[in-house]
Amino acid sequence: MTDGSQGAPAQGAPSVSAPGILTFIIADVTIFGVLFVAFMVERSHQVPLFNQSSSSLDVRLGLLNTLVLMTSGLFVVLAVLAAGQGRASVTRQWLLASFVVGAGFGINKLIEYGDKFAHGINLLTNDFFMFYFVLTGVHFVHFLAGMVVLALLWFRTRGEAVDGPLFGWIESGALYWHMVDLLWIVIFPMLYLLGSR
C-alpha cells in the first residue's frame, strides 16, 4: 500500500481501463435510448393518460433518489482521485461512503414499489405504468449490479495497491456507476415531471 504517496497511477495501470466497459456502456445506453423513444412515441398517443398516471408518482421521492445517486457518484469520483494518488485508506472510505449513500436509492425505490403495489398498481395497470416498471425495474437491476461492484472494489482495496492494476478496475467501476446516475437523470424527469402537473 502506498497510502501516503502522491503521483499518477503506476505504469501498466490503464488510464481508462477498459474499452470493454466503454463498449458495454454505449450498448446499454443505446438500449435505454430505444426505450426512451418508445415511451415518448406512446406518450404522444395517450397524453392525458400518461399525464394523469405521472401525477400519481411521488416527485419528492424521485428528486431524493436523484440527489442520492448524484452524491454517491461524487463520492466515487473522490475515490478515483484518491486511488490515482495511491491513498488506499482514503479510497476505501470514499467507496464505502458511495455504497452507503447509494443504498438509500434502493431503500427509497422499494418503498415506492411497495406503495404502488399496495394501491393495486402494477405492470398491467396501463401503458404508462408498463413503461414505469420496465424502465425503473431495469435501472434498478443496473443499480444492484453497481452496488455489487462498489462492494467488490471496497474489499479488493483491503489487500491491493490502489495505484496498481486495481486502479483500472476502480475507474471502470466508477464509469459504470456514472452510467447508472446518468440513466436515472433521464428517467426521473421523463416519468415524474413530464406533464405531471
Q: Return d(Cα 22, Cα 15) in angstroms, integer.
A: 13
Band (5; pLDDT cuts 50, 70, 90): very low
Q: Which domains does the chain have, with CATH numbers?
A: 19-193 (1.20.120.80)
Averaged over 72-80, what is the pLDDT?
A: 97
Band (95; pLDDT cuts 50, 70, 90): very high
Task: Match 481508462 to its residue by C-alpha cell.
Answer: 16
Q: Is the dihedral of CA 189, 194, 196, 197 positive or negative?
A: positive
Q: Return d(Cα 194, Cα 197) in angstroms, integer.
A: 8
Of 123 and 13, the structure prediction assigns the larger pLDDT to 123
Averaged over 65-94, what is the pLDDT?
A: 95
Amino acid at 190: M
Q: Cell digits for 60?
A: 419528492
- The per-residue pLDDT for range 126-160, each reduced to its tens digit, is 999 999 999 999 999 999 999 999 999 999 998 88
- The per-residue pLDDT for range 154-190, each reduced to its tens digit, is 999 988 888 888 999 999 999 999 999 999 999 999 9
To the nearest whole number, what is the mean pLDDT of the chain? Answer: 89
| Position 47 pLDDT exceeds 80 | yes
Q: Is the pTM of this model over 0.75?
A: yes
Q: Return d(Cα 114, Cα 109) in angstroms, integer.
A: 8
